[in-house]
Amino acid sequence: MLKLKPNCECCDTDLPPESLNARTCSFECTFCKDCAEDNFRNVCPNCEGELLRRPIRPVELLVKNPASTDRFLKAHPECAHLQT
């Protein structure tokens, strides 16, 4: 089951479970749409996998299977100017 990580690991933008702007690879590295497209051309900088829109978990299923609250940032050179 997807963790539904709460933020972009590049710029730390919030990505709630219902976000249409979340992008993820098969290892669940998570980025916002802008970072995925502009910084990485939809290729994960960690595993080189394809970054695709993260699916939306229906609200009624979030009660039993909530999204992760653990935030994660990684020092990608393309993101250094975005992280403060």
Residues spanned by the domain of 32: 22-78
Q: Give yes or no for a contact between 24 and 46, defined as CB atoms under 8 angstroms apart.
A: no
Residue 8 is assigned to a structural domain of this protein: no
pLDDT at 74: 87
Say what the pTM is: 0.90
Residue 69 is assigned to a structural domain of this protein: yes
Give the total number of structural domains in the chain.
Answer: 1
pLDDT at 62: 96
pLDDT at 81: 64
pLDDT at 54: 98
pLDDT at 77: 80
What is the spatial order of strands in the sheet that 52-53 belongs to?
30-32, 22-24, 52-53
Residue 2 is assigned to a structural domain of this protein: no
Residue 11 is assigned to a structural domain of this protein: no
pLDDT at 83: 60
Residue 39 is assigned to a structural domain of this protein: yes
Name the stretches of the chain with pLDDT < 50. none
Residue 66 is assigned to a structural domain of this protein: yes
Q: What is the dihedral of CA 40, 56, 15, 25, to 10 degrees?
A: -30
